[in-house]
Amino acid sequence: MAASNDDLVDDELRQESVDAGASTIANAQMRTRVHIQGRIEVLTLNPTGTNRWLEAELNDGTGSVHLIWMGRRRIPGLRAGRRLAVDGLIAANDGQRIMYNPRYQLLSD
């Protein structure tokens, strides 16, 4: 049986995280500080109200975490498809993993 392209990409992302010594999103414990890495799937600017923030969805092949940088409109070099490593506290909001104002490192494409 052949694996789908999405499955192959997920396996590659997961293996890159493990090889780099990062935690996987699926295994990250809630309300703990973690180091994870993956690829930005979606990048948006939330323009509502006076409090603007930059949002990104990071996928590591095992799951995804929603990243929010409050007070930021953009981060130079950050775009959909870019690989990224982040450090921060994992929380949950409406059943979704979320990380506010994580430290980040842009990784090579």
pLDDT tens over the chain, length 109 residues: 556 776 677 888 888 888 888 899 999 999 999 999 999 999 998 776 677 899 999 999 999 999 999 988 889 999 999 999 999 999 998 989 999 999 999 998 6
Distance CA 78, CA 102 (A): 13
Report residue 109 as tokens: 């494409």
Topology classification of domain 5-106 = OB fold (Dihydrolipoamide Acetyltransferase, E2P) (2.40.50)
What local confidence, expressed as pLDDT, does residue 2 receive?
55
What local confidence, expressed as pLDDT, does residue 87 receive?
97
What local confidence, expressed as pLDDT, does residue 49 receive?
67
Distance CA 25, CA 88 (A): 12
Q: What is the pTM of this model?
A: 0.86
Measuring CA to CA, how many Å separate 81 from each of 17, 31, 56, 97? 16, 27, 11, 20
